[in-house]
């Protein structure tokens, strides 16, 4: 009985400790959540562009509209200094971001521009949408290559 209780308590403390272990810097958690939302919406457009999903103008437009608004979220509090992968666990943000913040911001601005263009053409048919999607994908990739660590 006693042992059960102890094991019970141990199991409980493990369960409680897990979220503590995953206790991420809130800015890191927020920016990763933001990128998940980027990918969730961009995935629809990419799926249509690659022929894995049938093109649907309304669905494409909604995803592009979402992406437009998501890429307008102010980034000011999402990238505090000291939240790079050589300083803390749980992030793939390379310290190079803070060495050349102007370039990092320029790459984000490039994303915003390509997404705005995509928003303008997403509902205009598969070919136009695909061209817009390729451009956005290029801006995602350019920043990842420069500033995101490989997945471990």
Provide the binding-site residues for ligand HEC, judged by CB under 6 A: 28, 31-32, 35-36, 38-39, 42, 91-93, 104, 107-108, 111, 136, 139-140, 143-144, 147-148
**Of 35, 32, 42, nearest to 119 (Cα)?**
42
Cβ closer to ligand HEC: 24 or 126?
A: 24
Q: How far is the CB of 138 from ligand HEC (least distance, A)?
A: 9
Cβ closer to ligand HEC: 14 or 69?
A: 69
Cβ closer to ligand HEC: 9 or 21?
A: 21
Q: How far is the CB of 54 from ligand HEC (least distance, A)?
A: 21
Residue 39 has a CB neighbour count (10 Å cut-off) of 11
Burial class (CB in 10 A: 0-12, 13-18, 19+), 92: middle
Q: How far is the CB of 11 from ligand HEC (least distance, A)?
A: 28
**Of 86, 85, 76, 144, nearest to 110 (Cα)?**
144
Q: How far is the CB of 122 from ligand HEC (least distance, A)?
A: 13
Cα-Cα-Cα-Cα torsion 44, 48, 53, 59, nearest 10 degrees, comes to 50
CA distance 129 to 48: 9
Cβ closer to ligand HEC: 6 or 25?
A: 25
């Amino acid at each position: 009985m006693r042992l059960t209780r102890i094991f019970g308590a141990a199991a409980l403390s493990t369960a409680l400790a897990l979220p503590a272990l995953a206790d991420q810097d809130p800015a890191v958690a927020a920016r990763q959540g933001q990128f998940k939302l980027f990918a969730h919406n961009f995935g629809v457009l990419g799926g249509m562009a690659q022929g894995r999903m049938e093109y649907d103008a309304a669905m494409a437009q909604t995803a592009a509209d979402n992406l437009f608004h998501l890429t307008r979220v102010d980034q000011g509090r999402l990238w505090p200094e000291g939240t790079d992968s050589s300083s803390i666990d749980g992030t793939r943000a390379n310290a190079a971001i803070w060495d050349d913040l102007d370039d990092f911001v320029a790459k984000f601005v490039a994303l915003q521009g390509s997404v705005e263009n995509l928003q303008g053409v997403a509902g205009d048919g598969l070919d136009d949408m695909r061209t817009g999607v390729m451009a956005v994908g290029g801006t995602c990739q350019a920043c990842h290559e420069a500033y995101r660590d490989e997945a471990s």
